[in-house]
Amino acid sequence: MPVPTSTVPAERVNHFAFKIGTVNGTGSASANGLLMQSIFRMGIPVSGKNVFPSNIQGLPTWYEVRVDEDGYNARTPDFDLIVAMNPATYERDIAEVRAGGWLLHDSSWPLDEELLRSDVTFLGVPFGQLCVDHFTGGRERVLMKNIVYVGTLCALLDIDLGTVEDLLRETFARKQALMDSNLLAIRLGRDFAREAFDCPLPIRLERREKNGDAVLMDGNTAAALGCVYAGATVGAWYPITPATSLMDAFRRFCARYRTDRETGERRYMVIQAEDELAAAGMVIGAGWAGARAFTPTAGPGISLMSEFIGLAYYAEIPSVFFDIQRTGPSTGMPTRTQQGDLTLVAYASHGDTKHLALFPADPGECFDFAVRAFDVAERFQTPVFVVSDLDIGMNDWLIPRLRWDDGFRPDRGKVLDAEALEAMTAFHRYLGDDEPDLVAPRTLPGTHSRGAYFTRGSGHDRFGRYTEDAAGYREVVDRIARKIDGAAEALPGPERIPAAAFGAGRNPGATRAGGGRENGRPAGTDADAGTDARAGTGPARGRGYDARGGSDAGAGLDASRGSDAGAASADGVITTGGCRGAVLEALDVLAAEGSPMDYLRVRAFPFAGPVRSFLEEHDRCFVVEQNRDGQLRTLLINETGVAPERLVSVLDYGGVPLSAAAVLEGIRHPGRPVGAGAPRPPAGHEEDRLETAP
């Protein structure tokens, strides 16, 4: 079916987005994964976002795919093609197609004429009837219908059929019947489309070599691998979306890499606790005993764990908590993403506490920061949070290949061995005031009788004795506060990119062929190598920056020393976590319009010196985050003393991943609600340029 001439779009190769609407529980996830992997293997940068319900089966689910050979990976709200496989969402799906776009639907049943749009081309394929004619059994027909639409998209988008078939053969190498069914379904869809439509569409794929040695990986899998790499042997958790898959992956990795091949002995422990509080207690107990232990959870779990988190802070016990954020409050929307736990993790528990937190932006940093978290937790004897979110944790991202470093050795911090204890006249657990980093040496159970001590969550003095004396109590908690503030310089520094690095299509944050990430310095180099005495003690990564054991600690990823160096712009943009891709894309657009801005991404809390410097250098900073109350902005005000009027919030908290369009809307029109679910702007004001600073 030819496209109406009035809406024929210009040809776009490797620059478009499409969306697939199905029903949860019908097997579409496998088909969508097949599409992503096929495009990736064609050497084209691709990103996918799964928008799924919190039930097991029956409700609508969508999968959004963005193809962009320039490497932009943020979600886009504009879709050139929608595959509508769920009649219950036809109205919504048709409304979301970009003018001049296409809607692919199952023509086995008639489409309500009231839903038709004159500026959209409707492509009908009898998916249901094709499956009835060629497959047997209700379940097989349901599953194969998804593979038939994959075949149709092969024809419409020019997806390499050989690549798709190779993936199917790899997947079903030992299941010949399934392989044959899938190959037949692919060909049914492709052949029908070729006969019925002009293929390919003006939006199409063309093989490239842009991905180099990159991989597709989700953040939870990457974090689990980082835990194994870091030497973690104990994991305790209570199942919760979206964190459960992290522990599932850890268990799989441990079964493969921590099981003795000769004896079958398991050198790890994974415990499903009765609740989140119990899981936290198990992790803290294991950390006290000398194991590297962690728990993955989400915001509701952190709330329940808060009492034990305070114990680990006050008793100074290393422990690692992964918070895969989801939409709150309360149960909220369990399968939607958000950044609503920033203040929670910063000050979790009652009383005066402050915690170390790391904020990865993608699965690559989930791996890096998992390793870093265990080192930092033991070095400073305190809880450490790795704060991801559902988008990072459960969606596949294009990242440089992770590289193993056999020279990596964990930093266990100050642990006294039997020889050291034997030479001491007495051991007192909390004598840390005379230590340069204010961290008191610890002992592990069973090392030496002289190293035994009573672990307290109640008031204690520097000798570890129970006390209700004001001076003795204050001496300990004041030292802990100074210790935590001082630890900021050992955490990953912020990523900083100057305004001059941005411009239309430049995308300084893209993963490039050959490994590495462009951020103003040659890919594969370390950031500020040597600023920490432990530089080089960590996992080697094919990235433009490296979170190895402190090589970028505190000083951060300052691209301003590159060839694009220049004076700071009057306005800056600050963000964190998974907002990175959308913000960088928006800054490219603004630079092309003549409104360039400097960029800083916070990667850790407490904030190190470069964050404060960035605030001081700019008259106004837009703070982009995914929560309602501006929690990152609140932390910046509380911790740095910056004047609140200099920080302008850009907030998108509807539960879907951030888009560049939302960032642009918030920067151009400060104070206007943006993103999914926000009220629409007045007609005629959607494309206004940046408003001037007050």
Q: What is the pLDDT of residue 514?
A: 53
Q: Which long-range contacts (CB under 8 A, 24 or more apart) does 456-461 make?
A: 456/314, 456/315, 457/310, 457/311, 457/314, 457/315, 460/430, 461/430
Write the pLDDT tens digit of every residue in 297-344. 999 999 999 999 999 999 999 999 999 999 999 999 999 999 999 999
Which one, of 584, 622, 602, 566, lies nearest residue 508 by Cα? 584
Give dist(CA 591, CA 501) in Å, integer.
9
CA–CA distance from 320 to each of 198, 374, 375, 431 (Å)? 55, 7, 10, 24
Specify the pLDDT at position 569: 77
Residue 151 contacts residue 183 (beta carbons within 8 Å):
no
One fold for 216-399 and 492-668? yes
| Span 216-399 CATH architecture | 3-Layer(aba) Sandwich (3.40)
The string of DSSP letters for 412-476 reads: --SB--HHHHHT-S---TT--TTSTT-PPPB--TTS-GGG-----SS-B-TTS-B---HHHHHHH
CB 627 within 8 A of CB 340: yes
CA distance 117 to 124: 14
Q: Does residue 395 sit in helix, strand or coil?
A: coil
> Do 394 and 335 touch, CB atoms closer than 8 A?
no
Map out the domains of the chain as residue ranges. 5-204, 216-399, 418-489, 492-668
The reported pLDDT for the residue numbered 597 is 97
Per-residue pLDDT reduced to its tens digit, 443-478: 999 999 999 998 889 999 999 999 999 999 999 999
Chain centroid to Cα 408, Å, comes to 24
Instruction: Please report the pLDDT score of residue 676 as a whole number.
Output: 80
Cβ-proximal residues to 591 (8 Å cutoff; 6+ apart), any chain: 499, 502, 503, 504, 506, 597
Q: Is the dihedral of CA 92, 94, 100, 105 positive or negative?
A: positive
CATH number of the domain located at residue range(s) 5-204 in this protein: 3.40.920.10
Pairwise CA distance, residues 694 & 645, whole Å: 10
Give the start-end residues of each E strand in 97-179.
97-106, 121-125
Cβ–Cβ under 8 Å, residues 301 and 276: yes
How far is residue 1's CA from residue 196's CA, in Å, rounded to a whole number? 6
Cα–Cα nearest to 64, from 80, 87, 40: 80
Q: Does residue 199 contact residue 225 with C-beta atoms inside 8 Å?
A: no
CB 672 within 8 A of CB 681: yes
Model pLDDT, residue 54: 87
Q: Tell me, which fold does domain 492-668 have in CATH?
A: Rossmann fold (3.40.50)
| pLDDT value, residue 442 | 97
Q: How many CB atoms lie within 10 A of CB 351?
A: 9
> Hey, which residues does 104 pair with through a beta bridge?
83, 123
Identify whether the C-beta of residue 49 lies closer than 8 Å to the C-beta of residue 70: no
> Which segments in the chain show pLDDT lower than 70?
1-9, 504, 512-567, 680-694
Q: Within 10 A of 40 (CB to CB), how many other CB atoms are there?
A: 20
Phi then psi for 579, rounded to 5 degrees? -70, -10
b/e 268-300 (16+ beta carbons within 10 angstroms → b): bebbebeebbbbbbbbbbbbbebbbbbbbbbbb
Report d(CA 74, CA 63) in Å as an integer.
14
Please give the pLDDT value at position 565: 47
* Sign of CA pseudo-dihedral 644, 650, 654, 658: negative
User: Residue 123: beta bridge partners?
Assistant: 104
